[in-house]
Amino acid sequence: MSLSGRVLRVGAEVWVPWVDLTTRDDGTLEANGVAVDAFNIIAKKLNFTYHLVRPGDGEWGRGLPNGSFTGMIGMCQRKEVDMALGPFGVTWERAQVVDFSTTLFVDGFGIFLPRPRLQKDLSGFLKPLSWEVWLGFLTCLLLGAFLGALLLLFHNYSFLTWKGVKAFNSGWMVRGVLQQAIPRLPRVNAGRVFVGTWILVGLILGAAYRGVLTSLLAVPRVTVPVDSLEDLLDYGRIPWALEYGTSLHQLFADADSGVYSRVFQDASFVKDCYRARHKIKDDNLAVLCDFFTMRKIMSEDFSVSGQCNYYIAENAIKSAPLSFAFPRTSPLIQHFDQWLQPLKESGVMSRSVLSVTANATACLVRPGREKGTRVNTVFDLVDLAGVFLLLVGGLVAALIAFLCEEIGAKLMD
């Protein structure tokens, strides 16, 4: 089926890697990209040429309160163009004013942000056990010391001593936890139960602590603070942006409450994710956009730098079919659908997508698991800085205590 050499007016705007536009010397637009390649195949099959037209506002299309739409969707709604490249995320709102071709590609939308890095943590030696475990252990230690001190008040009673060895001694707890030798062990059952319990607790906690600490020091584990919209709101240390005039812009702007509303209230706007890629990496910005663009940026960046500088949050916001847009009841749709379906079934679209994102694979792993990530065989001073600070703090405290004792003794003399 042929369109007999017809010249179509086609709406288009930049969305790398789908569509990229350049202006020729004569002022006309030239397009390239994955969607353009598919469109050119159909143009050849249907025997038509086309003239590209950019929307005056540079938008894809948002619904306004009066029922009209902005951007390329608005151009189709007003029949100013024969069709628009997009490709467009198909939404209910858009489908009320334009018609869409068969699906060109199905993609998801998520959060794109700078890649979290391994950071030195001075309190890292405390991380093998959660704060609840540390609090519980400290509580038991204080309680045991209190009971031991209380029972020592009765040390003159014979049933609590045996040949000068007391039945209870608060120092046994510390020695038991640290797996140190305990001289002059208790000779009565109460003391043996007391010491045996603390030795068992020390054995279990010590083994767990040493094992996890070794793992944390030897294998880098990067904390990923943002993997969902809720994380983005709760983290509060990175600003975020939406692509202006897109289906995501409409989705968040229409939300009256909940997470989407909160995200929209504090969001800034960028033209598109690809053009904001340097700002994401250098200025610590998160952008909500499509996965294809994210992987394209990752692939290009890795090809140039050999490093993974970006991260895609695990939880997707939504997914949507992407299609060309046409004015309502346009007869062109049946002609395009006739060739779009074979293009998809032949794998042309999938191969095109993979060809421009091939190098992103190395960076699609959790931060800290990239190929070539350092595994510690020798711990340096920075790795154990927290422990050394604790040691220095203890020595200073001991020095202060010594000076206080000396001064106190001289004052008493």
CA angle 367, 369, 371 (to 5 degrees): 120
Number of separate helices (H) and strands (E) present in the chain: 14, 14
Q: Both tokens of residue 132?
A: 């609840």
- What's the alpha-carbon Rg for the chain, to the nearest Å? 34
Residue 69 has pLDDT above 50, yes or no: yes
Q: What's the confidence (pLDDT) of residue 64?
A: 92
Model pTM score: 0.72
122-126, 193-197, 209-213: the lowest-pLDDT one:
122-126
Which residue has better confidence, 159 or 90?
90
CA-to-CA dists, residue 161 to 61, 122, 154, 277, 397, angstroms: 87, 45, 10, 75, 35
Query: Are 271 and 277 spatial neighbours (Cβ–Cβ below 8 Å)?
Result: no
Confidence of residue 380 (pLDDT cuts 50, 70, 90): low
**37 CB neighbour count, 10 Å cutoff:** 15
* 3-state secondary structure (DSSP) of residue 34: helix
2-16, 86-100, 107-121, 204-218: the lowest-pLDDT one:
204-218
Q: Which residues, including other chains, have CB under 8 Å from residue 254's CB and lie 6 or more apart?
A: none
Q: What's the confidence (pLDDT) of residue 138?
A: 82
Query: Are 237 and 325 spatial neighbours (Cβ–Cβ below 8 Å)?
Result: no
Output phi, psi for 180, to 5 deg: -100, 160
Query: Are 19 and 31 spatial neighbours (Cβ–Cβ below 8 Å)?
Result: yes
What is the amino acid identity at position 355? S
Query: Are 54 and 12 spatial neighbours (Cβ–Cβ below 8 Å)?
Result: yes
Q: What's the confidence (pLDDT) of residue 384?
A: 64
pLDDT tens digit sequence for 266-313:
999 999 999 999 999 998 999 999 999 999 999 999 999 988 999 999
Q: Which residues, including other chains, have CB under 8 Å from residue 87's CB and lie 6 or more apart?
A: 15, 18, 35, 104, 105, 322, 323, 324
Confidence of residue 190 (pLDDT cuts 50, 70, 90): low
pLDDT tens digit sequence for 78-98:
999 999 998 999 999 999 999
pLDDT tens digit sequence for 16-46:
999 999 988 888 889 999 999 999 999 999 9
Separation of alpha carbons 130 and 137, rounded Å: 11
Confidence of residue 3 (pLDDT cuts 50, 70, 90): confident
43-52, 273-282, 343-352: the lowest-pLDDT one:
343-352
- The stretch 381-394 carries a mean pLDDT of 68
Separation of alpha carbons 266 and 229, rounded Å: 12
What are the sequence ranges of the domains in the chain?
124-219, 381-413
pLDDT tens digit sequence for 398-408:
678 777 877 87
Q: What's the confidence (pLDDT) of residue 234?
A: 93
**106 CB neighbour count, 10 Å cutoff:** 11
- The stretch 132-152 carries a mean pLDDT of 74
Confidence of residue 133 (pLDDT cuts 50, 70, 90): confident
Which residue has better confidence, 349 or 310?
310
Residue 134 has pLDDT above 90, yes or no: no
